[in-house]
C-alpha cells in the first residue's frame, strides 16, 4: 500500500495585500527560482498537476473561501529583496518563500499527489513593513492553532 499523497506546508511572504499574516493559501502552482532540482539523472517529471486538483477541491469543501495562489521558491536562507519580489510578481507569483517547490518535485517523481498550503507570515519585501524574523515567527505561532485545526479537518475528511 504505502503513502499516496503528501501535505506540504510553509511560511510565506504575500504579494497580495488582501492576504495578511495569518492567511492560509492553497498552492495552485509554483515557480522554482532556486536554480536547483532534487532530481538526478534523466528524470522528466510532469508537473502540469503538481498540486493535485482533487486534493485542492477537497480542501475547499472544508473551507470554501480558502484562496489559491502561485508560490515562488527562492534559495534562501535570506529573505527576498524588493526587486526579487517584483520579479516574482511579474512572473505570476502571489507568495514567496524558501521551501516546498523542491519537495513537490521530489514527491511527484515518487508518484505522490501533493496538497500544498502556505501560511502567510509577512508581507513580501517591499510591499509592507520591513521584515523582522521575530515578527515572522510570531505570526506563525499566532496562526498555528487555526492552521492546525484546518489541517486536521482536511485530513480527517481526506478522500480515498
The CA distance from 65 to 16, in Å, is: 16
Report d(CA 1, CA 36) in Å as an integer: 31
Task: Decide if 80 is catalytic.
Answer: yes
Q: Which helix (H) or strand (E) holds 14?
A: strand 5-14
From 18, 80, 103, 109, active-site residue: 80
The neighbouring-strand residues paired with 128 are none
What is the H or E stretch that residue 32 is in? Answer: strand 24-32
Query: Which sequence positions are flagged as catalytic?
Result: 80
Amino acid at each position: 500500500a504505502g503513502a499516496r499523497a503528501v501535505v506540504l506546508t510553509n511560511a510565506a511572504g504575500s504579494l497580495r495585500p488582501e492576504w495578511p499574516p495569518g492567511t492560509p493559501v492553497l498552492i495552485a502552482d509554483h515557480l522554482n527560482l532556486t536554480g536547483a532540482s532534487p532530481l538526478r539523472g534523466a528524470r522528466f517529471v510532469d508537473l502540469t498537476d503538481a498540486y493535485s486538483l482533487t486534493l485542492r477541491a477537497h480542501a475547499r469543501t472544508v473551507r470554501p473561501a480558502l484562496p489559491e495562489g502561485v508560490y515562488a521558491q527562492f534559495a534562501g536562507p535570506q529573505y527576498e529583496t524588493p526587486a526579487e519580489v517584483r520579479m516574482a510578481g511579474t512572473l505570476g507569483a502571489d507568495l514567496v518563500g524558501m521551501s516546498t517547490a523542491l519537495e513537490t518535485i521530489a514527491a511527484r517523481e515518487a508518484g505522490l499527489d501533493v496538497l500544498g498550503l502556505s501560511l502567510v507570515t509577512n508581507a513580501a519585501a517591499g510591499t509592507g513593513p520591513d521584515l523582522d524574523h521575530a515578527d515572522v515567527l510570531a505570526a506563525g505561532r499566532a496562526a498555528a492553532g487555526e492552521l492546525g485545526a484546518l489541517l486536521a479537518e482536511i485530513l480527517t475528511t481526506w478522500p480515498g
